[in-house]
Structure 1
Amino acid sequence: MLLELKRIHVPPGQTVILKNVTWVELETILEELGEHRAARIAYDQGILEIMTPLPEHEDNKEIISDLFKALLEELDIEFRCLGSTTFKNQFIAQGIEPEQCFYIKNEPLIRGKKRIDLTIDPPPDLALEIDITSRTHLNIYQGLKVPEVWRFENGKLNINILENDRYIESQSSLNFPNLPLIEVIPEYLEKSKIIGRNGTIKEFRNWVRQHF
């Protein structure tokens, strides 16, 4: 498996799917891939998907993440951003590396921890996925009980809220129910392509202050 893995080249925007991957093999593959890499994985009961994002994919992720961080900072809400940390649970044989993720309400429970173990630790409060070239594995997030998943695709932001162990599309965020984020986030993302990142974040901070 490792010899085959070393021979696999995943070009940006492409995906490789491996079947019948055991949990032990998954752990070995993750160790072999290392933490500092562009490729991301999703694992669902024996099926392993390895994907490498496009530059556009990364740009959108960074700006949306920066906007969300600015929102939390302006509202003085403590948070922890763990990027594409590998979240996995052997008991349900599922694992995933989100584009970006945030601990907000559960931040005090994992503060200072170097390793997150979902068999004892809570999942992130919010995960972000960019679907330019990949597909969001909502069933995996559902299994890991992530309360909120943002999916950005074709210029639109979809917010998925976990209710009764199933995701439903929502017009508002679980964390910010009074803000029209599905409209505002794409608007400022597009603005960043015209006026740049810093100017956009500054304008967004002003917008948040006006609404609070």
Structure 2
Amino acid sequence: MLLELQQIIVKPGQQMLLQDISWQQLENILEELEGRSAARISYSDGWLEIMVPLPEHEKDKEFIGDLVKILLEKLQIDFEPFGSTTLKNERMRQAVEADTCFYIQNQAAMIGKNRIDLNVDPPPDLAIEVDITSRTRFDNYEILGVPELWRYTQKGLEISLLQNGKYIKAQSSPNFPDIPIVELVNEYVQQCLTIGRSQAIRNFRSWVNNNL
């Protein structure tokens, strides 16, 4: 007996792993999940993970995305934000939903587009993952060629840069040269938790105006 997707319940903070999922099955599942905005997927060569993040995860990813937007706007850098859009490439048999992602160098190519098709579109210049679960072991971002990946965990922000097809850890972001991104993100996420989002954003804007 085959299970229908709506019969499967994944609670916040949990994930479910499925094997031998064809590309067409993946497309069908993505279509069914479209209404369930909370669910995130990761697919690699037949393996599919469905994860439902915790509410605090959603708050962190929105906040970090806001910090990035403030920096880009202050630096007058054009960008196209794509949120948690599915990144997929059928030829590579890979798909992943970042928590949020940005086109910066390649923003002009994405103006007016609502979906990303990595068969024809460039990958995002920056992808951001919060509170990593096992899905990152698939190395989807590496295979899909995303040049910069930020991972925010309980230990703080990690920056990974793609070099010769593999990620290496870095202390700075080429998208924000000469800006202490790791320290800033860590500090203002903590402020968000202690004094609230609005005041933390105001403090960050003040730092940006005084230092950039």
* Aligned residue number for residue 71 of structure 2: 71
Q: Is the 8 A contact 2:85 2:115 kept in 1?
A: no
Whether contact under 8 Å (2:128, 2:150) holds in the other structure is yes
Aligned length: 212
SS in 1 for 2:20: coil
Identity level (%):
52
Give me the whole-angstrom Cα distance separating, in 2, the residues matched to 1:137 and 1:95.
13
The whole-number CA distance in structure 2 between the counterparts of 1:133 and 1:46 is 19
Mapping for residues 21-100 of structure 1, pairs under 5 Å: 21-100=21-100
Q: TM-score, normalised by structure 2?
A: 0.94
Match of 1:8 in 2: 8
Quote how far apart the aligned CAs of 1:22 are: 0.5
- Alpha-carbon distance in structure 1 between the residues aligned to 2:162 and 2:146: 7
- 1:124 matched to which residue of 2? 124
SS at match of 2:117: coil
Query: Which residue in 1 is equivalent to 2:193?
Result: 193
Distance (whole Å) between structure 2 residues aligned to residue 21 and residue 96 of structure 1 = 14
**Does the Cα contact within 8 Å between 2:49 and 2:135 map onto a contact in 1?**
no
Q: Which runs of 5+ in 1 are unaligned?
A: none
Rounded Cα–Cα distance in structure 2 between residues aligned with 1:204 and 1:138: 34
String of CA shifts for 1:107-138, please: whole Å, max 9, x gaps: 11111113321111111110110125554246
Partner of 1:157: 157
Shift of 1:177: 2.1
Taking the aligned partners of 2:102 and 2:180, their CA distance within structure 1 comes to 19
Distance 2:3 2:44 in 1: 22
SS of residue in 2 equivalent to 1:136: helix
User: Secondary structure in 2 aligned to 1:3?
Assistant: coil
Is this contact kept in 2: 1:150–1:158, CA < 8 A? yes
Could you say if the C-alpha distance between residues 5 and 36 of structure 1 is closer, same or farther in structure 2, counting changes exceeding 3 Å? closer
Cα deviation, 1:171-190, whole Å, max 9, x if unaligned, reads 00120121111111110111
What is the CA deviation profile of residues 81-130 of structure 1, one whole-angstrom value per residue up to 9, with x for unaligned ones?
11110110011100000001011111111111133211111111101101
**In the TM superposition, what is the alpha-carbon distance from 1:197 to its structure 2 partner?**
1.3
* Code of the aligned partner of 2:128: L
Letter in 1 for 2:118: L
* CA RMSD, Structure 1 to Structure 2 (Å): 1.6
Q: Is the 8 A contact 2:89 2:119 kept in 1?
A: yes
> Compared with structure 1, are the counterparts of its residues 164 and 132 closer, same or farther at alpha carbon in structure 2 (3 Å cutoff)?
closer
* In structure 2, C-alpha distance between the alignment counterparts of 1:34 and 1:158, rounded to whole Å: 29
Distance of 2:114 and 2:184 partners within structure 1: 34
Which residue does the alignment assign to 2:208?
A: 208
Mapped partners of 1:167, 1:138: distance in 2: 13
CA distance in 2, matches of 1:45, 1:156: 30
CA contact (8 A) 1:2 1:29 kept: no
Instruction: Give the aligned residue type for 1:108.
Output: A
1:35 is displaced (CA, Å) by 4.8
Greater CA drift, 111-120 or 16-25: 111-120
1:42 CA displacement? 0.3
Q: Determine helix, strand or coil for the equivalent of 1:128.
A: strand
Measured in 1, the distance between the counterparts of 2:205 and 2:134 equals 30
Seen in structure 2, the aligned counterparts of structure 1 residues 44 and 59 have a Cα distance that, compared at 3 Å, is same
Query: Quick one: distance in 1 between partners of 2:59 and 2:166?
Result: 30
